[in-house]
Amino acid sequence: MRISIRKQLLSLFAPFLFGLWTTSAVVSYWLVSSYVDGAFDRHLINSADSVVGRLRDRDRKVTVDLPPAAQYILKHEELDTLYYRVLDSAGRRVDSGDDALPAPSAGLKVHVPRLSFSKVEGKEVRLVEIKVEPPEWKGDLAIVQVAETMITRKRFKDHMLLSIAVPQLLILAVGLFAVWDGVGRILTPLRLLQGQLANRLRSDLKPVADDNIPEEVFPLVQAINQLFARIDGEIKAQRRFISNAAHQLRTPLAGLKTYSSIGTQMSEAKDLQHIVSQLDLGLDRASRIVHQLLALARVDESERQKPEEKIDLSLLISDLKPDFLAQAERKSIELSFEIPPATFLPGDPVGIRHLAANLIENAISYTESGGRIEVRLSASEAGRVVLEVADSGRGIPINDREKIFERFYRVDDSSGTGSGLGLSIVKEVASLHGAEIQVTEGLAGRGSCFAVSFPA
């Protein structure tokens, strides 16, 4: 199943935003509560203070001068019930007041109101108690208790909390919707890009238009365009290769056809032998080209997979030795090998065999009779392995020393059965192994020397 960016963003944001909202609601409730409690408590203390203001000293006894009108004003609350009571120093109720109130708290300090939560007639109340001891009372004292139920206070808190939390919840919902909708809008360029690619013809590898592409998607478009350019280049190279290969094969095939046509007209054994030997040469050339093409295709396929197998280059070259000694002898060329016993390196044995064989084959092809060829293998202390093939042949003009590695390139006056593919195989195999190739002058100031240096 595909991952949805939209769902991922929402599942990332939603819990975070809900957490934020809950925290904010809790903090708001706490702040609102303390603010509302403070305001209501001050109001309650004021009520208690107004009762204190009504206390009188009559014949050294505390009385409350609270006429019915004043009592009505004190007790008049729409939803809540207000209770009050005055106790004298002996703890007796003075005049009017509510006996339902709890016994006064111990340890009250004079003129310092004490607030607490309590219960009166089963209802939760906020209670304020004040101990009063005016100096002119000469030792007598009174305690004033005023309590009020908390309905208005609670409603007030609930309203304030709702007026904060509900809009916040709306903002949260709008925020989540904005994320949902925003993702769709942000991804519009990707949809356009998809449209551009989906409607293309198979052969259309021109770059994708990158105007109006957001900064974040731009690298993707760039990567796609680079890939297109690479594929385009590779397709063109393949086409060139196929047409070159076809051309290379056509020449020997045309020769074969000519000789075979002439052969059909001949009856003399001597003439026919000449034709057959020409056919043999032509077939040699064609089969060599096919062989080289297959080798190149194989190297191309193994591209980018760095070979890991450990091979013994000394053994591999020793295996090739008898064949090449025989070839050299046929051309009266002196071929010598300088190979240490075991030279190991990580590599592709088939590829390396092609590399060595092509270099030695070329040396034999481009060296005249009586010439000399030296094949040397050495391993430096740092672990680099160097294979050198030096000859005293015709050499390679400096200007051609780079071009000879191109596919199908042959130096102008090259004769023989060459296809121009041998050195491209050498180059591909070397680059696959991270090896470097150097072309310098050959033996005794003549010919050429190919040195392939494999990394440590």
Residue identified by tokens 């919902």 is 173
- Binding-site size for ligand ADP (CB under 6 A) equals 22
Q: Which listed range, 212-220, 252-260, 389-397, 429-437, lies at the site for ligand ADP (CB under 6 A)? A: 389-397
Pick the piece of the chain touching ligand ADP (CB under 6 A) from 24-32, 123-131, 272-280, 392-400.
Answer: 392-400
Q: Which of 354, 372, 410, 433 binds ligand ADP (CB under 6 A)?
A: 410
Please report the beta strands in 300-381, taking only residues with DSSP state E, as ranges in sequence order. 310-312, 334-338, 344-346, 372-379
CA distance 149 to 212: 67
Span 345-364, contacts to ligand ADP by CB under 6 A: 358, 362-363
Stretch that binds ligand ADP, among 22-30, 45-53, 107-115, 386-394 (CB under 6 A): 386-394
Pairing of strands 55-58, 61-64: antiparallel
Among 314, 379, 422, 429, binds ligand ADP (CB under 6 A): 422
Minimal distance, residue 424 CB to ligand ADP, in Å: 6
Do 53 and 77 contact (CB within 8 A), yes or no?
A: no
Question: For residues 307 and 420, which CB has a smaller minimum distance to ligand ADP in the complex?
Answer: 420
β-strand partners of 132 = 142
Residue selected from 128, 256, 421, 430 as contacting ligand ADP according to rule CB under 6 A: 421
Query: What residue type is 334 in one-letter code?
Result: E
For position 366 contacting ligand ADP by CB under 6 A, the verdict is yes
Strands 372-379 and 334-338: parallel
**8 A C-beta contact, residue 307 and residue 351:** yes
Contact predicate 387/316, CB 8 Å:
no
In contact, 115 and 38? CB cutoff 8 Å: no
> Interface mask (CB under 6 A) for ligand ADP, residues 14-43, using x and -?
------------------------------
Q: Is the Cβ–Cβ distance between 113 and 129 less than 8 Å?
A: yes
Q: How far is the CB of 294 from ligand ADP (least distance, A)?
A: 14
| Cα–Cα dist 269/79, whole Å | 136
**Counting contacts by CB under 6 A, is residue 144 touching ligand ADP?**
no
Question: In the numeric block, which tokens belong to residue 352?
Answer: 């390396």
Nearer to ligand ADP, 163 or 440 (CB): 440
Binding of ligand ADP by 414 (CB under 6 A): yes
**Minimum distance from CB of 408 to ligand ADP (Å)?**
8
> Quick check: 394 binds ligand ADP (CB under 6 A)?
yes
Task: Pick from 423, 437, 451, 452 the residue near ligand ADP by CB under 6 A.
Answer: 423
What one-character-per-residue DSSP string does 173-242 give?
A: HHHHHHHHHHHHHHTHHHHHHHHHHHT--TT--PPPP-TT--TTTHHHHHHHHHHHHHHHHHHHHHHHHH
Q: Which residue in this structure is represented by tokens 């006894």?
A: 61
| Residue ranges that bind ligand ADP, judged by CB under 6 A | 358, 362-363, 366, 391, 393-396, 404, 409-411, 414, 418-424, 448
